[in-house]
Amino acid sequence: MQPDGLIAELQQKNPKAFERIYERYSESTFGIIYSIVNERTIAEEILQDVFIKVWDNAHAYDSSKGRFFTWLLNIARNASIDATRSKSYKNKRKNLTADFFVDILEEKSNFSKKTDAIGIKKYIEVLKPVCKKIIDLLYFKGFTQADASKELDMPLGTLKTRNRNCIKKLREILVP
């Protein structure tokens, strides 16, 4: 559930509310950032910048425009993509292949308590390659629906229903 009361308190600059928002969203935000930059130190720095932005600009969040989670997701993706464009980042990552969330999950062995580790691994196993690509573009990389449909050479309607079915699998595993 979206904690609307907490978000309102955050917008009134309540530091306690900020702490609880951080507890609730920091790990998922960290995952988004890490899936883009793939480097822990940089991901940590970006996470800090993102939550400072959340504190400074909380008043700018408007529930009539979208979900708080989406708002946060946008800030995190933009900050991460900005970072990947910096020169120092490019130098550092020159010799590494581009990863995406599936690789990270497949390589990962220690999961924190917040997630259903077995469930997520199972999810990746059953996920069709096209699903992996769609979720990567729409969710982790923040493509617009038009851009994703072009990139995947897939009509918009097909993209929408496929994306829904891909996420549905994940829901079935997490909420049996």
Which residues in the 29-48 window bind another protein by CB under 8 A?
Answer: 29-32, 34-35, 39-45, 47-48
Shortest Cβ distance from residue 126 to another protein (Å)?
Answer: 14
Q: Is residue 4 involved in binding another protein (CB under 8 A)?
A: no
Neighbours of 49 (CB within 10 A): 17
- Provide the minimum distance between the beta carbon of 100 and another protein in the complex, in angstroms, as a whole number: 9
Q: How far is CA 68 from CA 42, 58, 64, 65, 74, in A?
A: 24, 10, 10, 9, 10
Residue 151 binds to another protein (criterion: CB under 8 A) = no
Pick the closer one to another protein by CB: 97 or 141.
141
- Smallest gap, in angstroms, from Cβ of residue 85 to another protein? 11
12 binds another protein (CB under 8 A): no
- Between CA 170 and CA 175 the distance in angstroms is 8
* Smallest distance from another protein to CB 6, Å: 15
Is 18 in a helix, a strand, or coil?
helix
CA distance 146 to 79: 22
Residue 9 CB: number of other CB atoms within 10 A? 18
8 part of the interface to another protein, by CB under 8 A: no
* # of chain residues touching another protein (CB under 8 A): 79
- Considering only residues 92 to 111 of the shown chain, the ones binding another protein according to CB under 8 A are 92, 101, 104-105, 108, 110-111
Q: Least Å distance between CB 155 and another protein?
A: 12
- 14 versus 97: smaller Cβ distance to another protein: 14
Is residue 43 packed enough to be buried (19+ CB in 10 Å), middle (13-18) or exposed (0-12)? buried
- 152 interacts with another protein by CB under 8 A: no
Site for another protein contains 60 (CB under 8 A) = no
DSSP class per residue in 127-156: --HHHHHHHIIIIIS---HHHHHHHTT--H
State which amino acid sits at residue 116: D
